[in-house]
Amino acid sequence: MAVRCTRGPAAAGEALPHRRGVRGPRVSRTDAPASLREFYENPAVPVASGDARSRRQARMLADALGPFRTGEAPAVVVDVGCGDGSAAAVAAGVLDGRRPGGQRIVAVDWSHDALRRARSRTRDASPGTPVHVVRGGLPDGAAQPAGLPLADGSADAVLFSEVVEHLVDPDAALDELRRVLRPGGHLLLSTPNLAAWYNRALLLAGVQPVFSEVSLRGIHGRPGSQVVGHLRLYTARALRGFLAASGFTVEKVAGAPYHDVPRPLRPFDRALCRAPSLASILLVHARRE
């Protein structure tokens, strides 16, 4: 599944950029995508991670992997749904500073357009942490490749950044991530928070919450104008339960800000990252049981 993110709240009439900072498609009834695959292959659909969340997630990953000791094999980190490679590039830079020479990153996506951009972005991301970009997908019932090109238990950590909200079958996807992770391996997952502070206020006012979508052709009933293909949304409690049921132990839940929150409210949004259940973005560190 191509990595797709979400952007935070915007005042009425403002665009809501998707996960990668490019304005998404405005689709008419006559040129609407025939399938989700066609939708995500559209170059106009954003496929980039927000910088703030990518850096927070990369620091969580570095903490999870711990120090690199002489004689150890480099850790294998897989960025599943790498999009344009921005999350992998940020992770490579952070990890190389914290664990020089201690890891290599495999960035995976099935969108040809995303892979082209990912190769360009990660080519010189960090001299000490190589990034290998390969094509593959998740078993999601959407006529895409039916598995990741990785052996069982071959990954020490998986980055899963703003992907799960786009999946038809998130249960099968988590099974696949669990398959490629070694026992005790780390899952670093991020996704928009359905219960973000502004969504609670919007629902009380009878307004469709930010991040949610009712159509692939347009935005209806909520602020913003960008269609990004969200099919699932999670609260912190729901995400904990879902991961536990999928064979993962949740180690930490943190929050990240949403850079498209209106400027006067950004300090408040950053402050609420200390309360993950209210934050714009949920960042989770879990381990394969």
CATH number, domain of 82, equals 3.40.50.150
- Residue 257 is assigned to a structural domain of this protein: yes
Helix then strand then coil, % of the chain, to nearest 5: 30, 20, 50
Residue 282 confidence (pLDDT): 98
pLDDT reported for residue 27? 40
Query: What pLDDT, on a 0 to 100 scale, did the predictor assign at position 228?
Result: 85
Residues 6+ apart with CB under 8 A from 207: 221, 222, 223
By the 10 Å C-beta count (0-12 exposed, 13-18 middle, 19+ buried), 116 is classed as: middle
**Do 169 and 143 form a contact (C-beta atoms < 8 A)?**
no
Examine residue 11 and state whether it is found in any structural domain, yes or no.
no
pLDDT at 227: 85
Q: How far, in Å, CA of 96 to CA of 37, rounded?
A: 34
Exposed/middle/buried for residue 66 (C-beta within 10 Å: 0-12, 13-18, 19+) = exposed
Could you tell me if residue 2 is inside a domain?
no
> Does residue 63 lie in a domain region?
yes
Rounded distance, CA 76 to CA 31, Å? 41
What's the confidence (pLDDT) of residue 47? 57
Element (H or E) spanning 103, and its range?
A: strand 103-109
Tokens of 276: 């993950």
Is 143 a member of any domain?
A: yes
The predicted structure's pLDDT at residue 127: 87
In order of 55, 220, 227, 247, 254, the CA distances from 93 in angstroms are: 9, 39, 31, 30, 21
Establish if 3 belongs to a structural domain: no
Residue 160 CA to residue 177 CA, distance in Å, equals: 9
Q: Distance between CA 174 and CA 197 in Å, rounded?
A: 27
Domain count, the chain: 1
Six token digits for residue 56: 């927070």
147 lies in a domain? yes
Spatial neighbors of 156 by CB under 8 A, at least 6 apart, are 65, 75, 76, 77, 103, 181, 182, 185, 186
Is residue 20 domain-resident? no
The range of the structural domain enclosing residue 204 comes to: 36-288
Q: So what's the pLDDT on residue 2?
A: 37
Low-confidence ranges of the chain (pLDDT < 50): 1-32, 143
> Residue 224, by phi and psi: left (phi above 0), alpha (psi -120 to 50) or beta?
left
